[in-house]
Amino acid sequence: MKFTWLGFLSCCAVFGLVCSCPVVAQVAAASAAGQTAPAWVAQVKVSRGIVRIERGGQRFPSPVGARLKVEDTVITEANGSVGLMFADNSTLSMGPGGEVFLHTFSYDPTTYMGAFDAFVKQGTVSLQAGNLAQGAPDSVKIRTPQAEVKGNARQFLVSVEEKK
């Protein structure tokens, strides 16, 4: 029994490797083929009141047209709201007093494969699904301090009360 289990486990590991390799290769091939994808992942389309982007410990203002990268944090003040559009046409918009960290965003426009992972620390957020959710529903993930959300919902709302 022991031997079979080990065999089974190593089979799983090999299978996992085989499965993950083509994805990496595909992404690499897409960029090698001279695909002209910009380095940024989202753009600010709507910005009202005070909105900031925190990047590498520094805070920047976030006017309409500003571009966002992975690992940026978007912060809205008490009078602020913001609407972002991502490369896969998904949108994320936030009401006042919000903070969202863009943990992961990868997107292959040829295959629609990739991953979206954002952490909503506080505030009200509306998310409209884009091409990623079409490629693989579990590729879109929203995390909050107390829960995790996944799925192919076309539009969802998340609200996290401020920690007092």
Partner 1 sequence: MAIPTRRPSLFLAAALALALLSACSGPREYFSVIPDRDGKTGQMVVTPRQGNALALDRTNASATVRGGEISPAKLSEAELKEMYKEALAAQPMAPARFLLYFVEGGDILTAESQRELENVLAEIKKRPAPDLIVVGHTDRVGSVADNDRLALRRAEKVRSQLVAQGFSPEGISASGRGEREPLVATADEVAEARNRRVEILVR
Q: How far apart are CA 27 and CA 20, in angstroms?
A: 11
Q: Site for partner 1 (CB under 8 A): which residue of 53, 74, 94, 118? A: 94
In the complex with partner 1, the residue whose CB is nearer, 43 or 104, is 43
3-state secondary structure 6-35: HHHHHHHHHHHHHHHHHHHHHHHHHHHCCC
Q: Which residues of 96-105 are buried (b: 16+ CB within 10 A; e: fewer)?
A: bbbbbbbbeb
DSSP class of 11 = H
Give the number of other Cβ atoms within 10 Å of residue 158's Cβ. Answer: 19
Q: Is 154 one of the binding residues for partner 1 (CB under 8 A)?
A: yes
In the complex with partner 1, the residue whose CB is nearer, 75 or 129, is 129
CB of 3 to partner 1, least distance (A): 36
Q: Is 77 one of the binding residues for partner 1 (CB under 8 A)?
A: no
- Candidate segments 4-12, 15-23, 52-60, 79-87, binder of partner 1 by CB under 8 A: 79-87
Q: Is 114 one of the binding residues for partner 1 (CB under 8 A)?
A: no
Q: Is 62 one of the binding residues for partner 1 (CB under 8 A)?
A: no
